[in-house]
Amino acid sequence: ETGVTQTPRHLVMGMTNKKSLKCEQHLGHNAMYWYKQSAKKPLELMFVYSLEERVENNSVPSRFSPECPNSSHLFLHLHTLQPEDSALYLCASSQDWLGAKNIQYFGAGTRLSVL
């Protein structure tokens, strides 16, 4: 148990569906991250939030919409996804957003399949 909880663990959705991924951290951290991990590709950083403010958006398509209502919760809203968006989505947190100084704690991930 890393202190970072992601739900759901598995999600299958059609291209016209709207769904949300949820991440919650119980570590008192100030920074939270969304990563995408596709087979045989490096982990891709999608978004970074620090104290509920988005500080990084790595050219992610608008069909992915993050939300950080407070420093403990992070959501990733999904709509009109494409089959190539099928991947493992990982949430992480760290003490603050200067990631190079901090250890990141990861959730177990959401395995997303887009049909």
Partner 1 sequence: SQQGEEDPQALSIQEGENATMNCSYKTSINNLQWYRQNSGRGLVHLILIRSNEREKHSGRLRVTLDTSKKSSSLLITASRAADTASYFCAPGSYNTDKLIFGTGTRLQVFP
**Chain residues that interact with partner 1, rule: CB under 8 A:** 2, 4, 6, 40-43, 45, 48, 55-56, 88, 90-92, 97-101, 103-109, 111
Measured between alpha carbons, how far is 23 from 25 in angstroms, rounded to an integer?
A: 7
CA angle 58, 49, 68 (to 5 degrees): 115
Cβ proximity to partner 1, 43 vs 115, nearer residue: 43
Cβ proximity to partner 1, 70 vs 100, nearer residue: 100
Grouping H, G, I as helix, E, B as strand and the rest as coil, residue 38 is coil
Cβ proximity to partner 1, 16 vs 103, nearer residue: 103
What's the chain's length in residues? 115
